[in-house]
Chains A and B, each alone.
Chain A
């Protein structure tokens, strides 16, 4: 009996199933998750750590029991983990609302970058830019619309 067979023999069916689910998720979405993390956290070694956190997260372990698109769950989780790492290394803490430099017009891409990639809440962006929150939300939609049309 080889190592693999013995391993399979000793692991509980639940563990084997969870591991297989996790492997399937990793094969399908790891590149996507890593891409998101790198957009937020460009340092490769930290990005890899965040990627490990995403795929070992207890939230992910229970995802198979939830309904919903696994890609979206992973996208949100990847963003949260990457922003946590950014805070850990002392980069801009969005919660503390450091002044955002608004140079020129606030394009949908700029709003998307501030909110999704840099982790500023829409409330903070609204407060600092003077743009109403509904307009910011619309800008996020416009960004996705531009992408959809392209």
Chain B
């Protein structure tokens, strides 16, 4: 009879919702271990509380999981600590890159920073070739015009 009074007192609900004091929490845990009725009542109440909370569910804003992933320790992109590795015993060399790979779902690619230099070199060379091409084109054109002019002059000076 006493155990039913305890179950109906509301302390189990308070315990499950996190409203009980430390002392009360310990008491409930002891009662749970001692009395199967308490354990069974707790299981039932867990279902009720879960249903109550599920009924008040609100979908989180989109992109929340990506933010969580970015915050999970050990998941962020980080350079391997070369200094620490130097201090430690040399490990067998693997094919791993200098970065810890992370799972991402965007449309970007990550390339080595040397590609930036390579891109700049290619860009500058393309400009140089373009300018040189234009220069020689106009030069050849003016030479052609000069030849035409000289031919005309020679033809005029030739005695008939």
Contact = CB atoms under 8 A, between A and B. Distances in A.
B104 A3 contact: yes
A131 interface: no
Contacts of B64: 30, 48, 51-52
Contacts of A144: 13, 45, 48-49, 52
Contact of B9 (A36, A55, A72, A141): A141
A76 B46 CA distance: 12
Contact of B67 (A52, A134, A141): A52
A122 B14 CA distance: 9
A76 B18 contact: yes
Interface residues of A, number: 50
Which applies to chain A's interface (DSSP): helix, strand, loop or mixed? Answer: helix
Contact of A137 (B11, B60, B65, B101): B11
**Residue of B56, B58, B75 most packed against chain A (CB within 10 A):** B58
A46 interface: no
Interface residues of B, number: 43
B28 to A, nearest CB: 12
B31 interface: no
Contact of A35 (B14, B18, B57, B67): B57
A31 B57 contact: yes
A24 B25 CA distance: 29
Contacts, number: 126
B17 interface: yes
B103 interface: yes
B76 to A, nearest CB: 12
Which residue, of B17, B21, B73, has the highest number of chain A Cβ atoms within 10 A? B17
A75 B19 CA distance: 12
Contacts of A69: 46, 50
Contacts of B49: 71-72, 75, 144
Nearest to A141: B10
B96 interface: yes
8 contacts: A7-B103, A19-B75, A22-B68, A30-B65, A75-B18, A75-B49, A137-B9, A140-B13
